[in-house]
């Protein structure tokens, strides 16, 4: 009996020591080592790290709307904003017991993103991340990544991308048909673009118009296999899904995709291709709505290039104004007028605007793991915005409340409500940017 108690006690003591080692000794040791190298940050707190502070700061900023300013960093990432100010450009904070080294210094960012020595592996995905994204291209590494990246490159560039244009146009047309008759009424574009972007990625990547791609991967597999077996078509198709299906049926054992790989890759592309473009389209329309002069400039370019015809691939690359509609936040890189909306910064191209500093502006990432869908995302955005500008002028609805929040992508907490005025029925009746009552308060 006594032996049992002694063994249990010893076991408990070892477990407690291991717990204290992992949750106290290791974090404090890492903190001490980094502090000694000049990297400081908010102190580690037992078990929670800095999570409570982060939640508190985020709750506080989320509960308040802001004026129509571009200075959104303190609102969307209040913890990073306050710690950069307090501890400098590079600092350490704690996500529970996981140390997070934040670096914003351009040279260091470049080194990490280029990852020449392969010293910075992707971090292990969380269960939530895996569920949402699937264990696809964004998360995989090594040989597996090289092969799948090649496949995706092929599916989302060059001729393949050109062949997607009709499907994108037709999805935008469906959305615009729904908008017809709603002129002068308020419309929540973020929700509209959510439907549009999921339709576009489903049709272009998977050749299917069904919603909820995760649930119907098997259905698409079966339907394509049946068509091949019945002799209706020769192969599985040239879209992304067709390429995946070829790899799934591949003869080479080493390179063959499992069904699980296939489903994961579909999840990845559905999520990566939808949420991101949804956000880009929503905020672009928002900016065009408050800056009527830039809206007019962008429309003039669209009309010059396409007239009232649907966008064509050769013209899409010539659209420059839409690409320059963006915002940035570091005064050391962009100057004291960083928060002013000045797309003219990009008049001579991105390289010139950033003084050839690639880390000053990299919305699509940098280096080998940069976005494989960039050309696709820009094509979809240019087509959708062009087709809207050909038909409507856009003003911001008085109901709009400015409250951007970071939730993987930048989301408008209360949607983006705009008012559409048909160019063909109402004439040019959009906000005059010089009239402050039209555009509320813009810093
Ligand atoms: C405005 C739209 C988009 C933005 C801002 C964006 C941004 C990014 C960024 C920053 C990365 C790098 C992530 C990292 O370094 O870990 C990335 C990777 C990726 N993106 Fe996008 N993306 C967009 C649209 C798309 C679209 C439309 C697709 C699919 C068609 C896509 C698929 C991917 C994939 C698969 C990766 C991982 C690439 C790899 O690790 O090899 N993205 N994206």
The CATH number that applies at residue 296 is 1.10.630.10
* pLDDT given for residue 404 in this prediction: 96
Please tell me whether residues 275 and 399 are part of one structural domain: yes
Binned at pLDDT 50, 70 and 90, residue 250 comes out as confident
* pLDDT given for residue 184 in this prediction: 86
243 or 211: whose pLDDT is higher?
A: 243
**Residue found by looking up tokens 């500093």 in the block:** 357
* pLDDT given for residue 291 in this prediction: 96
Q: Which residues are paired to 100 by β-bridges?
A: 93
Q: What is the DSSP letter of 253?
A: G
Given a contact cutoff of 8 angstroms between Cβ atoms, the answer to whether 443 and 67 are in contact is: yes
Ligand 1, atom 7, lies closest to the CA of 364
In this predicted structure, the answer to whether residue 440 has a pLDDT above a threshold of 50 is no
Which two tokens mark 141? 């590494």
Q: Cα(371) to centroid of ligand 1, in Å?
A: 4
Report the mean per-residue pLDDT for the chain. Answer: 89
Q: Cα(54) to centroid of ligand 1, in Å?
A: 26
In a domain, 382, yes or no: yes
**Could you tell me which residues are annotated as the binding site for heme?**
371
In this predicted structure, the answer to whether residue 216 has a pLDDT above a threshold of 80 is no
Range in 1-5, 28-32, 222-226, 309-313 with the lowest mean pLDDT: 1-5
Mean pLDDT of the 73-95 span: 97
Which two tokens mark 127? 């269960």
Mean pLDDT of the 127-132 span: 75
Measured from the Cα of 113, ligand 1's closest atom is 15
Please tell me whether residues 310 and 236 are part of one structural domain: yes
Measured from the Cα of 156, ligand 1's closest atom is 30
In this predicted structure, the answer to whether residue 435 has a pLDDT above a threshold of 50 is no
Tally of CB atoms within 10 A around 412: 20
Binned at pLDDT 50, 70 and 90, residue 188 comes out as very high
Binned at pLDDT 50, 70 and 90, residue 428 comes out as very low
Mean pLDDT of the 365-374 span: 94
Binned at pLDDT 50, 70 and 90, residue 255 comes out as confident
* pLDDT given for residue 55 in this prediction: 96
* pLDDT given for residue 211 in this prediction: 55
Q: Cα(403) to centroid of ligand 1, in Å?
A: 24
What pTM, to 2 d.p., does this model score?
0.89
**Could you tell me which residues are annotated as the binding site?**
371
Where is the domain boundary, 55, 85, 104?
104
Calculate Rg over the CA atoms of the chain. Answer: 25
439 or 266: whose pLDDT is higher?
A: 266
Given a contact cutoff of 8 angstroms between Cβ atoms, the answer to whether 290 and 68 are in contact is: yes
In a domain, 83, yes or no: yes
Q: Cα(364) to centroid of ligand 1, in Å?
A: 6
Measured from the Cα of 268, ligand 1's closest atom is 35
Measured from the Cα of 381, ligand 1's closest atom is 1
Ligand 1, atom 20, lies closest to the CA of 371
Please tell me whether residues 91 and 190 are part of one structural domain: no
In this predicted structure, the answer to whether residue 43 has a pLDDT above a threshold of 90 is yes
Q: Cα(377) to centroid of ligand 1, in Å?
A: 9
Please tell me whether residues 147 and 230 are part of one structural domain: yes
Measured from the Cα of 370, ligand 1's closest atom is 12
In this predicted structure, the answer to whether residue 149 has a pLDDT above a threshold of 60 is yes
Please tell me whether residues 241 and 298 are part of one structural domain: yes
Q: Which residues are paired to 410 by β-bridges?
A: 406
Which two tokens mark 218? 């098997």
Ligand 1, atom 42, lies closest to the CA of 373
H-helix or E-strand containing 410?
A: strand 409-412
Where is the domain boundary, 46, 74, 104?
104
d(CA 59, CA 36): 33
Measured from the Cα of 269, ligand 1's closest atom is 29
Measured from the Cα of 276, ligand 1's closest atom is 2
* pLDDT given for residue 209 in this prediction: 59
Ligand 1, atom 43, lies closest to the CA of 371
pLDDT tens, 262-305?
A: 888 988 998 899 999 999 999 999 999 999 999 999 999 999 99
63 or 267: whose pLDDT is higher?
A: 63
Q: Cα(268) to centroid of ligand 1, in Å?
A: 10
Please name the residue ranges forming H helices in 291-407: 292-306, 313-316, 331-334, 350-353, 374-391
Please tell me whether residues 310 and 415 are part of one structural domain: yes
Structural domain count, the chain = 2
In a domain, 58, yes or no: yes
In this predicted structure, the answer to whether residue 8 has a pLDDT above a threshold of 60 is yes
Range in 264-278, 393-407, 409-423 with the lowest mean pLDDT: 264-278
Mean pLDDT of the 422-433 span: 55
Binned at pLDDT 50, 70 and 90, residue 222 comes out as confident
Ligand 1, atom 11, lies closest to the CA of 371
Please tell me whether residues 162 and 42 are part of one structural domain: no
Ligand 1, atom 41, lies closest to the CA of 369
d(CA 367, CA 365): 7
Q: What is the DSSP letter of 364?
A: T
Mean pLDDT of the 394-406 span: 96
Where is the domain boundary, 104, 133, 152?
104
* pLDDT given for residue 437 in this prediction: 39
In a domain, 183, yes or no: yes
Share of the chain above pLDDT 70, in %: 94
Please tell me whether residues 152 and 249 are part of one structural domain: yes
Ligand 1, atom 39, lies closest to the CA of 369
In this predicted structure, the answer to whether residue 102 has a pLDDT above a threshold of 80 is yes
Candidates 135, 276, 375: which one to mutate for ligand 1, based on the most atoms within 8 Å of Cβ? 276
Please tell me whether residues 165 and 286 are part of one structural domain: yes
In a domain, 112, yes or no: no
Please tell me whether residues 7 and 59 are part of one structural domain: yes
Tally of CB atoms within 10 A around 251: 6
Binned at pLDDT 50, 70 and 90, residue 350 comes out as confident
Measured from the Cα of 145, ligand 1's closest atom is 41
Show the domain range for 99. Answer: 2-104
Ligand 1, atom 6, lies closest to the CA of 364
* pLDDT given for residue 210 in this prediction: 53
Candidates 142, 168, 171, 272: which one to mutate for ligand 1, based on the most atoms within 8 Å of Cβ? 272
* pLDDT given for residue 185 in this prediction: 85
Pocket of ligand 1 (CB under 6 A): 137-138, 149, 156, 268-269, 272-273, 276-277, 280, 363-365, 369-373, 376-377
Mean pLDDT of the 81-102 span: 97
Binned at pLDDT 50, 70 and 90, residue 223 comes out as confident
In a domain, 334, yes or no: no
Mean pLDDT of the 395-401 span: 97
In a domain, 117, yes or no: no
264 class by beta-carbon count within 10 Å (0-12 exposed, 13-18 middle, 19+ buried) = buried
Q: Which of 244, 253, 199 is nearest to 220 (CA)?
A: 244
Please tell me whether residues 80 and 149 are part of one structural domain: no
Mean pLDDT of the 312-323 span: 93
In a domain, 423, yes or no: yes
Spatial neighbors of 115 by CB under 8 A, at least 6 apart, are 367, 368, 369
Please tell me whether residues 182 and 317 are part of one structural domain: yes
């Amino acid at each position: 009996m006594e032996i049992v108690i002694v063994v249990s006690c010893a076991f408990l003591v070892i477990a407690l020591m291991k717990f204290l080692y992992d949750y106290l000794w290791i974090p404090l040791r890492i903190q001490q080592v980094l502090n000694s190298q000049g990297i400081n940050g908010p102190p580690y707190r037992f078990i929670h790290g800095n999570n409570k502070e982060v939640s508190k700061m985020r709750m506080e900023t989320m509960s308040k709307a802001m004026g129509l300013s571009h200075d959104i960093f303190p609102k969307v990432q209040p913890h990073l904003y306050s710690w950069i100010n307090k501890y400098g450009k590079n600092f350490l904070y704690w996500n529970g017991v996981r140390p997070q080294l934040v670096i914003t210094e351009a040279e260091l960012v470049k080194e990490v993103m280029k990852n020449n020595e392969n010293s910075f592996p992707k971090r292990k995905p969380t269960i939530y991340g895996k569920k949402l994204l699937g264990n696809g291209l964004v998360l995989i590494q090594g040989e597996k990544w090289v092969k799948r990246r090649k496949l995706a490159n092929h599916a989302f560039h060059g001729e393949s991308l050109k062949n997607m244009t009709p499907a994108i146009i037709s999805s935008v047309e469906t959305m615009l048909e729904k908008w017809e008759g709603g002129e002068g009424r308020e419309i929540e574009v973020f929700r509209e673009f959510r439907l549009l972007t999921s339709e576009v990625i489903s049709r272009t990547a998977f050749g299917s118009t069904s919603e909820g791609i995760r649930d119907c991967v098997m259905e698409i597999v079966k339907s394509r296999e049946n068509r091949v077996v019945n002799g209706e078509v020769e192969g599985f198709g040239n879209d992304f899904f067709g390429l995946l299906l070829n790899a799934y049926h591949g003869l080479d054992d080493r390179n063959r995709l499992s069904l699980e790989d296939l489903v994961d890759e579909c999840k990845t592309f559905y999520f990566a291709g939808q949420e991101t473009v949804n956000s880009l389209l929503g905020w672009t329309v928002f900016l065009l709505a408050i800056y009527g002069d830039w809206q007019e400039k962008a429309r003039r370019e669209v009309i010059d290039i396409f007239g009232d015809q649907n966008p064509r691939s050769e013209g899409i690359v010539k659209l420059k104004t839409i690409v320059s509609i963006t915002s940035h936040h570091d005064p050391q890189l962009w100057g004291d007028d960083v928060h002013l909306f000045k797309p003219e910064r990009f008049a001579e191209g991105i390289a010139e605007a950033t003084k050839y500093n690639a880390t000053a502006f990299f919305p699509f990432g940098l280096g080998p793991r940069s976005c494989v869908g960039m050309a696709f995302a820009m094509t979809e955005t240019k087509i959708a915005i062009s087709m809207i500008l050909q038909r409507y002028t856009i003003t911001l609805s008085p109901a709009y409340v400015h409250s951007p929040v970071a939730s993987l992508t930048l989301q408008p907490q209360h949607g983006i409500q705009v008012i559409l005025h048909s160019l063909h029925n109402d004439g040019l009746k959009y906000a005059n940017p010089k009239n402050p009552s039209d555009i509320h308060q813009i810093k």
